[in-house]
Structure 1
């Protein structure tokens, strides 16, 4: 238990102790005086109980005045979330209305708005390269503006997206390592990456190479990756630099990334499923000790004691004082 004003507690307990001393001394004097006069005092126990309740009420008030609070464990969603948004050319496909990117933007906005201010949210955009467009911040309006500014361009490099997201989380540059070494970024168990993408990987990478090393880096750092598959397996055709290309959702690689890092794959083959993504992604729940004020309950107890003491006094003597 903690106290906001320990000095008030000390002063209140001194007053309570003084009242106890006065009640004992005066009670003994009254008893001796009545005995000397040959008078038997009736209702002595009731009188003592009334005095005891009143003094106890004063003591409890003294504790309440000190502002006591109990530290209780409170679970809450907290930590850092990076939204990795695919802005590659394939995200212009219209198999999810009005197109994949617009649907992902709407879902990302809903996700941001659903998070409490205990969660710092950042945004990373990726195509063949990747960059942080909003650093993790408790001010979610920054992330919302970054999502609204997204434009379609280039190919897709999932491994680069993961490394850029880890860089935003840790503040340390996470470069590609052609030798396959997994860098030590420390342990970030409260961080999560939510990747909105169709999984079309056209950055010269494959699951057995750069993507695998990037996912294992996230796993080693304790960062979960939730992948949101935007698109359909049937796919659609998009126009890129004058060419017509067929693009389809690649669920296998997105499922593998999520399972490798302890996250989950969330299929979103239509706009309705994307709109509900915020409710399906479980972020990290942390337990922190938070103060629970006790003054209100103690004041109620003190009033009950004082009322009981006053009632017994009135019942005994027919007057309050």
Structure 2
């Protein structure tokens, strides 16, 4: 426990000692006065005689300690940390099997997700196609994150592995890459441990190339970073036009499910816009605890008032006076 005004504690001690000494002196003078007048000292129960004033005296230091503004630190659970929203911006995300499009529905759901986050959550935005690009560094300025989400446009292929590596580099603050087959194993790369960081991937799961996705996910798991995946699209699929050609595209859940499971995250499937919006509400961000100071002035004041009330009531009931 700490005090905003610790000097008041010394005053409380001095006043309590003085008040106690004064009470003892008062009782002695009363007894001496009775004896000098020829009266025997009344035989009262020690409890009845001294309890009411003892309660009143006890209220003094309690009240003064309250004036010292005591504070205690308590662990408060809260949602906190870093969230990277990773958007698949490949050509297939322009498919219309989810209204208005896969990417459009993902953007609206992600915006709603950001709006629901407390200021203790820093949100960043990452866009990936053949390569991955961080378009908004993690920030507690959620309006900036929402603006970055709105600027995502589709085009190119899909490299989820590259997205995970860029996301890890953003979280850890150091370049991250998978080692060559001749180099050290992926698990030996020291990225530190980041349990309060989460990567949320919005994708249709159609991978077209790039770094090994599972190896990248294992690297994230070793760093304590959880990946939550949201599948955008339908199994029946749709067609998209790329360079004058009509290409079929459908949701592939296998890769997205594997990535989530490797890192301890979960996969959410969203076959339509409403389901996609609902899926972001079930994204599990980690609860952390932070110590916050709680002022205890009110409890001390309440305790002092209770002692004063009890002391006064007992004094009047037993002796017809407070002291």
TM-score range, shorter chain: over 0.9
Q: How does 1:1-321 map to 2 (within 5 A)?
A: 1-39=1-39, 40-41=41-42, 46=48, 48-179=50-181, 181-182=185-186, 183-202=189-208, 204-205=209-210, 210-315=212-317
> Which sits farther off after the overlay, 291-300 or 53-62?
291-300
- Give the CA RMSD over aligned residues: 2.0
Q: CA deviation at 1:290?
A: 2.5
Secondary structure at the counterpart of residue 60 of structure 2 = helix
Cα gap change, 1:10 to 1:277, in 2 (>3 Å): farther
Q: CA deviation at 1:142?
A: 1.6
CA contact (8 A) 2:52 2:322 kept: no
> Which sits farther off after the overlay, 220-229 or 45-54?
45-54
Rounded to whole Å, the distance in 1 between the matches of 2:131 and 2:110 is 20
CA contact (8 A) 2:92 2:249 kept: yes
> Which sits farther off after the overlay, 35-44 or 150-159?
35-44
Rounded to whole Å, the distance in 1 between the matches of 2:44 and 2:279 is 72
CA contact (8 A) 1:109 1:147 kept: yes
Rounded to whole Å, the distance in 1 between the matches of 2:147 and 2:231 is 22
Rounded to whole Å, the distance in 1 between the matches of 2:103 and 2:58 is 68
CA contact (8 A) 1:111 1:277 kept: no
Q: CA deviation at 1:176?
A: 4.3
Could you give the per-residue CA deviations for residues 61-89 of structure 1, whole angstroms, max 9, x where no partner exists? 11211222333222221111111111111
Cα gap change, 1:42 to 1:312, in 2 (>3 Å): farther
